[in-house]
Amino acid sequence: MSSSKTDTDCSYILSCCSTADLTKDHFDRRDINYLMFHYSLGGEEHPDDLGETIPFEEFYARVADGEMTKTSQPNVDQFVAHFTPFLEAGKDILHVTLSTGLSGVYNSACLARDTLAETYPDRTIHIVDSLGASSGYGLIMETLADKRDEGMPLEELHDWIEKNKLRMHHWFFSTDLTFYIRGGRISKTAGTVGQILGICPLLNMDNLGRLIPREKIRSKRRVIKEIEKRMEQHAQDGLEYAGKCFISQSACVEDAKAVASLVEERFKNLCGKVDINYVGTTIGSHTGPGTVALFFWGDERVD
């Protein structure tokens, strides 16, 4: 199941997966189409429909109470069904996927593209690995929509995002290490000690699109200051950064607001207010509650 609003004023459409973690209203307003992942909660499967079937507050409360989650990505047939109406309408497609460092969905999208090429040889489908996740991936889509609306042609836009996608920074911290231990990103011993000492790990997305622990910081107050410092170090033009800034949070909105307030205080030239979204149900199934993620354009990410 997907959103499929075609832009009649453009020869191509923008498409992504629900794991870009923007709101349905945001996707619709910016004319960005999306294909849903799925997740199971308490043994029942649901679409990752941006909090419509199960509100995010309920999802994270149930996860915190111990209900098990599992996620599944769109398969080739689902991509074919998603792409076909656009091709039939004479539209080309630029689809950006969740990072290959987190999921195999890129391969499914490419197989669907190759399958459809036989039926629609005159149409173009570009598949791009975002090397990103959550609203950092969403900020990539937001920027592509800006450039599309400015009149950038498909091929130029495709070349631009391939050249610039590693400039999208993803910095995360978590005040609840349970799911990072469960997922193997933090050892059980280190996680147990960290929880006792109030350690909040600072992580980022590396140049292969993997989530990597970078620093162990004691106390939430300190990690909030440190994540803003990382933006000062890496943002395009430093404190003069004039781009957009997004934040994702999983059931810790006050922590997200504290980060947003600090960013807005320090970066006077931001393009609008910091946009705070939920970490969606797919990504949230792996991070659990207590995660804040900060996204902005900056220097090129390295390992």
pLDDT 10s digits, 35-90 = 999 999 999 999 999 999 999 999 999 999 999 999 999 999 999 999 999 999 99
Residue pair 80/116 in contact (Cβ under 8 Å)? The answer is yes
Beta bridge partners of 205: 211
Pairing of strands 38-41, 44-47: antiparallel
Q: Tell me: pLDDT of 1 over 90.
A: no
Dihedrals φ, ψ of 126, to 5°? -100, 130
Of the two residues 198 and 289, the one the predictor is more confident about is 289
Q: What is the pLDDT, as a whole number, of residue 5? A: 44
Higher pLDDT among residues 192 and 51, named by residue: 51
| pLDDT of 191 above 80 | no
pLDDT of residue 4: 42
Q: Check pLDDT > 60 for residue 11.
A: yes
Do residues 241 and 270 touch, judged by C-beta distance below 8 A?
Answer: yes
pTM, to two decimals: 0.93
Residue 50 region by backbone torsions, left for phi larger than 0, else alpha for psi between -120 and 50, else beta = left
pLDDT band at 180 (very low <50, low <70, confident <90, very high): low
- What tokens were used for 279? 């970490």
Q: What is the DSSP letter of 78?
A: H
Dump pLDDT digits (tens) for 95-125: 999 999 999 999 999 999 999 999 999 999 9
How far apart, in whole angstroms, are the C-alpha atoms of residue 207 and residue 215? 17
DSSP string computed for 11-66: SEEEEEEGGG---HHHHHHTTEEEE--EEEETTEEEE--TTSSS-HHHHHHHHHTT
